[in-house]
Amino acid sequence: MKTKLRPLLLAALSTFALAATLIQAADVKPYKLETCLVSGNELGSMGKPITKVYNDQEIKFCCKPCIKKFEANPEKYLKKLK
């Protein structure tokens, strides 16, 4: 009986996680720049852009080091979006 419940439980949890993600995504403001918020590099110039959400605002970075710089002083960079 244990083995029959496991797939059902996993399917239910996956469905719940997807629904929660979709609800959150609807409230997120899209990132409209074609450049990294931190470095100003064109998105995609250093590989696949990294997308994060900060206070319901989608943000895109060109690389992992830019995420750390952003997290150290987010308000400095968020001014660029206004």
At residue 10 the predicted structure's pLDDT band, cuts being 50, 70 and 90, is low
Q: What is the pLDDT of residue 82?
A: 83
Mean pLDDT of 69-74: 97
pTM: 0.67
Average pLDDT of every residue of the chain: 84
Predicted confidence at residue 36, as pLDDT, reads 97
Task: Please write the tens of the pLDDT for every residue from 28-67.
Answer: 999 999 999 999 999 999 999 999 999 999 999 999 999 9
Helix, strand and coil percent figures for the chain, each rounded to 5:
50, 20, 30
Specify the number of domains making up the chain: 1
Domain containing 58: what range?
Answer: 2-81
Q: What percent of the chain has pLDDT over 70?
A: 68
Q: Which helix (H) or strand (E) holds 73?
A: none
